[in-house]
Amino acid sequence: MTDENDPSGATPSRRQKQSVTKIGNHALNPSTMMMGFGFDPALSEGSLKPPIFLTSTFVFETAAAGKRFFEGVTGKRPGGAEGLIYSRFNGPNQEILEDRLSIWEGADDALAFSSGMSAIATLFLAFVQPGDVIVHSGPLYAATEGLISKILGKFGVSYVDFPAGATREEIDAVLAQAKAKGRVSLIYLESPANPTNALVDVEAVAAARKAAFSGDDVPPIAMDNTFLGPLWAKPLAQGADLSIYSLTKYAGGHSDLVAGGLVGRKDLINQVRMMRNTIGTICDPNTAWMLLRSLETLELRMDKAGTNAEKVCAFLRDHPKVETVGYLGFLEEGSRQADIYRRHCTGAGSTFSLYLKGGEKEAFAFLDALQIAHLAVSLGGTETLASAPAAMTHLSVPDERKAALGITDNLVRISIGVENPDDLIADFENALKAV
């Protein structure tokens, strides 16, 4: 978030202002701040909402200002760009969006990207060098696994992973193994894991890193927080340095845009910003504007979807054709996963894994019989979506790895929307008759 008192000398862009964050001693809730934070109507003809700034470049008031702005964006001056330059670097819509994204997790700063994967790829490119070692939890979203193993692997980058629910001792062992292989440049987590819904103990990872690394060798901890964030999980509070989002999901929430976000420590955000400036993975102004619209109702939509999921899962859990339901609200009391959930999460979310009795035939029959829920990948939208990860999103993952990670042919991933929960239950009950 831009700060008028920032000693680096950075100043807010012309279309922004530092908005109210408190009234007296009362700190405003993020859901309230989404209505106007970072935008001054007086700078846009009194418009209540930010206009869409569809321009590729911005006019400098003086040549000296242009030089100063470029010194900031190229890193020759600390603090980043002091003004608007060119839409590959920044823009009013993107900067207002980034200010508001920071609020949900109390982050120092944020960046917006053209997709969730462009956010992840830019992150990796900013920190990982040829020959480095990445430590990550498993499973990961299939495209993320592919990026690490198939693309970065071409440059001599290797990885060591641990299962999502690993204990502190298991994480210690993996970090020792990784250090023996070379320079560990990044610890990358995904929690809950896609598509199994398994949780990672972020606090244990942070403690293990502190014990294993010191000085300039400490790798950042970044976590994909798409499934539960920013309402139900805040990994920065548990020791992560960076929190990553597919803004396509809950933040966008209407299945009508593709975008990504990164929030966290300012020094790390600035390193990623330099990479984004170079390769141009920033989101476009129209997408940023749509996200500003969606953030105003984020809490309402997530609350409703979470309540719906609780009711739907309660029905599915006892159905005779269901093997098990991987829903965070059903974790066994006293289990490792329940302990992580208690410490890390404020809600069970609205996306879960449904394991049917049978295999691919039964999963496909169930999916083909749905009438309200849509057979489509993605999650976190206003509508309910269902898919078969083993045959779709994780098809490229080798069979032996899928088996080890619990991504089986009878697994159906469901993301509950904001429809009437009784209607959804009727839809699932009818679809189960086809299994």
Strand 385-387 and strand 374-375: the pairing is parallel
pLDDT digits (tens, 9 = 90+) for 243-278: 999 999 999 999 999 999 999 999 999 999 999 999
Q: How confident is the model at residue 15 (pLDDT cuts 50, 70, 90)?
A: very low
Quote the DSSP letter at residue 150: I
Residues 280 and 263: their CA atoms lie apart, in Å, by 18
User: How far is the C-alpha of 364 from the C-alpha of 379, rounded, in Å?
Assistant: 19
Segment 135-191, tens digit of pLDDT: 999 999 989 999 999 999 999 999 999 999 999 999 999 999 999 999 999 999 999
Mean pLDDT of all residues belonging to the chain? 93
The distance in angstroms from the start CA to the end CA of the chain is 51
Q: CA angle, 139 as apex, 324 and 356 as ends, to 5°?
A: 20
Helices (DSSP H) in 128-265: which residue ranges? 142-146, 168-181, 202-212
Nearest residue to 226 (alpha-carbon basis) of 182, 201, 202, 195: 195
- Please state the φ and ψ torsions of residue 237, each to the nearest 5 degrees: -75, -20
Q: Which residue is it, tokens 């302990």?
A: 339
- Residue 257: both structure tokens together: 């845009």
Lowest mean pLDDT among 71-85, 162-176, 202-216, 357-371: 71-85
- Cβ-proximal residues to 366 (8 Å cutoff; 6+ apart), any chain: 356, 412, 431, 432, 434, 435
The pLDDT score that the predictor gives to residue 18 is 55
- pLDDT over 90 for what percent of the chain? 86
Paired tokens of 53: 């700034």
pLDDT for the residue 147: 97
Half-sphere exposure of 72 (CA within 13 A, CB side): 21
pLDDT in tens, 50-107: 999 999 999 999 999 999 999 988 888 877 778 999 999 999 999 999 999 999 999 9
* Residue, of 196 and 370, whose pLDDT is higher: 370
DSSP string, 406-422: T--TTEEEEE--SS-HH
Q: Judge whether residue 336 has pLDDT over 90.
A: yes
pLDDT at 43: 87
- pLDDT score at 114: 98
pLDDT of residue 12: 44
For the CA atoms of 271, 266, 9, 75, the dihedral, rounded to the nearest 10 degrees, stands at 0
Q: Give percent of the chain above pLDDT 70.
A: 96
Bridge pairing between strands 260-264 and 322-326: unpaired
pLDDT of the residue at 257: 97
| DSSP label of 86 | B
CA 416/CA 427 separation, integer angstroms? 12
pLDDT of residue 348: 97
Whether the predicted pLDDT of 1 surpasses 60: no
β-strand 351-356 against 411-415: which pairing, if any? antiparallel
In this structure, what token pair is assigned to residue 393?
């999103």
The predicted-structure confidence for 308-329, as pLDDT tens digits, reads as follows: 999 999 999 999 999 999 999 9
**What does 229-277 look like in DSSP terms, one character per residue?**
TTTTB-GGGGT-SEEEEETTTTTT-SSS---EEEEE-HHHHHHHHHHHH
Q: How far apart are the C-alpha atoms of 130 and 332, rounded to whole Å?
A: 42
Strand (E) positions, 234-389?
242-246, 260-264, 322-326, 351-356, 374-375, 385-387
Fill in the amino acid letter for 16: Q
Residues 6 or more apart from 289 whose CB is under 8 A from it? 50, 52, 93
Cα separation, 394 vs 413, in Å, equals 11
Per-residue pLDDT band for 402 (boundaries 50, 70, 90) equals confident
Check: CB of residue 435 under 8 Å from CB of residue 367.
no
Judge whether residue 425 has pLDDT over 50.
yes
Alpha-carbon distance of 270 to 73, in angstroms, equals: 10
Give how far Cα 231 sits from Cα of 7, 104, 350, 389, Å: 31, 8, 12, 25
Domains of the chain: 1-115+248-296 (3.40.640.10), 123-245 (3.40.640.10), 298-432 (3.90.1150.10)
CB 14 within 8 A of CB 83: yes
The answer to whether the peptide bond before residue 92 is cis (omega within 30 degrees of 0) is no
More confident residue, 110 or 406: 110
Q: In this structure, what is the dihedral angle of CA atoms 186, 189, 195, 199, given to the nearest 10 degrees? A: 160
